[in-house]
Amino acid sequence: MTADTFPLFPALEANRSGMLKVDDTHTLYWEESGNPQGQPVLFLHGGPGAGTSPNHRRFFDPAHYRIVLFDQRGAGKSLPLGEYRDNTTPLLVSDIEKIRVMLGIEQWLVFGGSWGSTLALAYGEAHPERCLGFVLRGIFLCTRAEVEWFVNGMKFFFPEVHQRFADAVPEEERHDLLTAYTKRLFSDDPAVYIEAARNWSRYEGSCIFLKPQPEAIADFESDAICIGLGRLEAHYMLNAAFMREDQLIQDIERIRHLPAVIVQGRYDVVCPPVSAYRLHQAWPEASLQMIADAGHSGSEPGIAEALVRATEQFRQSGRFD
């Protein structure tokens, strides 16, 4: 890694990719990059529904890691885009296992941010024997309090953004924005659900950075991102991620023996630091790194640097000391 590319490794192409049909509804995009004989690492994207990007390969030394990315059900290049039916956390966990078996991988390092941290924990607690460790960023446990914060609490920091989000539905429905949006997001009429998805996605994209980044917000409004993000985030929030309340904390004993690092932006408005702190209290063996000058996005310099440092520490010693 050279100074001009720090904190990320240089851009690289996938070695191979494909589509995996996991049921009658969903077909998943997957790819590998880096060292085909290297240490396997699984990248889990956020959202749910946000999908992967080529930059996600760059958190890992390609000479050392066999880097596996995939787009979860309804996200990115997976088909159908934005499909929320037959889309649950247990099914996503099952999909991960299908990909692992298909690729002939025994164990891998699991890396996930935001919703990716939720799924990483759910997968690890279901299959601890398949995990070498965890790199987790912007912790989201999908509790009722976190969902309520996302839908209504962010207005305390971004009041004008939240007002625009609320104004997109009739006034008589604004007392329950999640229900109001899901009614539109789950419509079968693309004209209805795409508009709602764009409003939802713009709301999140406007709040994820410590300093506003207009180009990134514009990306969130694109059909390629907003359809998956808007429909699936609402779907999972409405259904408590198909887990019992606080399940990920209650079941943490299943993975406490594994090495882990938690990277959290101090000024993360989307996934406030209290969730990372709660996770660390339940899992004191994990390293908690609070980034003093960052919000939510994994692309913010302080967070990206901490994530790369974590993958490098694991490469060198299998730990995060």
Distance CA 295, CA 65 (A): 28
Name residue, tokens 């959290």: 264
The active-site residue, picked from 114, 117, 201, 297, is 114
Q: Is there a catalytic annotation at residue 189? A: no
DSSP lists the bridge partners of residue 291 as 265
Both tokens assigned to 108: 């891998």
- The tokens describing 207, both together, are 């709040």
From the candidates 61, 268, 275, 280, give the one annotated as an active-site residue. Answer: 268
Q: Is 23 a catalytic residue?
A: no
CA distance 113 to 273: 13
Catalytic residue list contains 280: no
Give the count of beta carbons closer than 10 Å to the beta carbon of residue 61: 20
φ, ψ for residue 18, nearest 5 deg: -170, -175
Of the residues 45, 251, 296, 297, only one is catalytic, namely: 296
Question: What is the Rg, in whole angstroms, of the alpha carbon atoms belonging to the chain?
Answer: 18
Q: List residues with catalytic annotation.
A: 114, 268, 296
